[in-house]
Structure 1
């Protein structure tokens, strides 16, 4: 059961950024500076989630887990409103679309009552230059003559593909073979993406932003076409 709107205003929440994508879609990003004890205050977990929290060896992961529950509260949800399917995709009990992300000291959620959504936050690391060939054709996005900017761009590509994967969550979905991200310029802050799998083509609008050495990408599904039916 959701708290009243007046109750939501009482939740202390120093958000890093709130993005109102539309009247039906919102993004919340939080930089985690609070201690685990501070984050646990006022949070009521279901027994399975409490067991999951206690089984996390990393304090950073536990803090990220708890911060997500505070973000849920901003939308009027409690821990028992959230559940996961067999592929690990999160769902809300009232049917609202949701996606969740946590990376080091940043966490975020995107919610939409209108369409499927996905979000991902990634730390910018030069390591991505070495592994990019595993998830995307590097030549589509630039060259190694400017490794820093290429690192930033490839981090967007990875985050965008991760966001689309979170929306689709299909076994056998390949970042390299099935997910395509249209080339973009960093200053534009948006691009498009496509998932092609088993004759079905799904299109997405993608937005991205950088925050203190991290990159956040979030995606909104725009169209689905079954090409196998037209052949």
Structure 2
């Protein structure tokens, strides 16, 4: 299936979503992969993971890039050959990439009850007070996405979601919030945008300069 959705987050940042209906073979035939990507693909045991990986390459091709324009540093962070910032996420039926002139990180998560069940492990549950169960699931998923997006930006070993990344209070209807990273004797602030995409939550984080 072609490109499913585009979200313009700001004037220089856009997210693109691919709804994955194709099988692995169809996706594989539609993209050109460099040797290192072929090696990674062959090492993936999950077909869902393979489809997500290949759908990211479909998105790149849709935007005029190829797999050869995408590289990863030693920490596993993706980079584009033209110097623009890229962040990647995939979850179940969707793959997403975000491209920007600014440093950012993204996360895409399916709404599910499990996230609420494990919420005390990664967030302050006071943020879920006075909400319906569905709102609690949504908010817990946003907060998980906030922490995952910030982690992708920093990409440093030792960062703990509950111990180092703290979300400020927010309302789901706002679509925006702020968060802080307390790590290595520093405090860094982040601006967050979040969106509902079908049965998923999409989060994009930007560091404050």
Query: What is the TM-score when the length of structure 2 is the normalising length?
Result: 0.92
Q: Structure 2: where are the runs of 5+ without partners?
A: none
Equivalent residue runs for 1:141-220 within 5 Å: 141-143=127-129, 146-220=132-206
Equivalent residue runs for 1:31-42 within 5 Å: 31-42=19-30
Residue 181 of structure 1: CA displacement? 1.4
CA distance in 2, matches of 1:107, 1:197: 30
Partner of 1:127: helix, strand, or coil? helix
Residue range with higher mean Cα deviation, 142-151 or 192-201? 142-151
Residue 145 of structure 1: CA displacement? 6.2
Equivalent residue runs for 1:126-141 within 5 Å: 126-139=113-126, 141=127
CA distance in 2, matches of 1:185, 1:144: 12
CA distance in 2, matches of 1:194, 1:145: 24
Give the greater-gyration-radius structure (CA): 1
CA distance in 2, matches of 1:149, 1:64: 28
CA distance in 2, matches of 1:202, 1:17: 31
Please tell me whether the aligned partners of residues 70 and 81 of structure 2 are also in contact (alpha carbons under 8 angstroms). yes
User: Would the alpha carbon gap of residues 132 and 192 (structure 1) be closer, same or farther in structure 2, given more than 3 Å must change?
Assistant: same
Q: Structure 1: where are the runs of 5+ without partners?
A: 1-12, 224-231
Residue deviations 1:128-167, cap 9 Å, x none? 222112111111x122763221111100000111011101
List, as ranges, runs of 4+ consecutive aligned residues in structure 1 with deviation greater than 6 Å. Answer: none
The one of 81, 87, 102 equivalent to 2:69 is: 81
Give the equivalent residue in structure 2 for 1:6: none
Alignment size in residue pairs: 209
Partner of 2:3: helix, strand, or coil? coil
Partner of 2:6: helix, strand, or coil? strand
Please provide the CA RMSD for this pair.
1.7
Residue deviations 1:202-231, cap 9 Å, x none? 2222111122321111112222xxxxxxxx
Give the equivalent residue in structure 1 for 2:41: 53
Give the equivalent residue in structure 2 for 1:10: none
Residue 98 of structure 1: CA displacement? 0.9
Equivalent residue runs for 1:5-20 within 5 Å: 14-20=2-8
Query: What is the TM-score when the length of structure 1 is the normalising length?
Result: 0.84
Give the equivalent residue in structure 2 for 1:125: 112
Residue deviations 1:84-103, cap 9 Å, x none? 12222111223211110010
